[in-house]
Amino acid sequence: MRVLGIDPGLRNLGWGVIDVDGSRLSHVANGTLHSVGDEMPARLLSLFQQLGAILIQYAPHTAAVEQTFVNKDGAGTLKLGQARGIAVLAPAQYGIEVGEYAPNKVKKTVVGVGHASKDQIAHMVKMQLPGAVLTGPDAADALAIAICHAHHFTSRARIAKALA
């Protein structure tokens, strides 16, 4: 199974692709998309098109996106929500199921604690994906989201199979 993890952002949208074979995870690719343009519609369109190209190139079976957290800046939260909408819409356009995870759940799954730092996340991603060269913190977060989804998706599949 191939998993695309997406760390939504309006300026920088991190993405990471992993392959899952049972409990074995392997790194495929990662990177950061940068929005282009001055106006919001142009920036969102550029992210949508770039993410579409990633979906076509790597053909994931499933995707996962980090849920938006609400911070003190309401306008910033709304802008992040729009980027998150792109991150959910692009895979859905290709018929790909999208999982959504709270930031603390991703950190707890990958690092073991819900309030891990970016450095801790990057370190654990490298440990779980030997040989992966991280292109930046947003890409590391996206790979962590993919790892989280791989663990929870396969667990849900095993439970459903056992109940059937």
Judge whether 7 counts as a catalytic residue: yes
Length of the chain: 164
Catalytic residue, chosen from 38, 119, 138, 141, is 138
Q: 123-129: list long-range contacts, CB under 8 Å, 24+ apart.
A: 128/25, 129/18, 129/25, 129/26, 129/27
For residue 66 the two structure tokens come to 């980090």
39 labelled ligand-binding: no
* b/e code 16-55 from CB counts within 10 Å (16+ = b): bbbbbeeeebebbbbbbbebeeeeeeebbebbbebbbebb
19 labelled ligand-binding: no
Judge whether 97 counts as a catalytic residue: no
Token pair 């993890």 is at which residue?
5
Q: How far apart are CA 25 and CA 54, in angstroms?
A: 20
Catalytic residue, chosen from 19, 38, 39, 66, is 66
7 labelled ligand-binding: yes
Catalytic residue, chosen from 7, 97, 100, 141, is 7
Judge whether 138 counts as a catalytic residue: yes
Residues that constitute the known binding site for Mg(2+):
7, 66, 138
Residues that constitute the known binding site:
7, 66, 138
Please identify every residue annotated as catalytic: 7, 66, 138
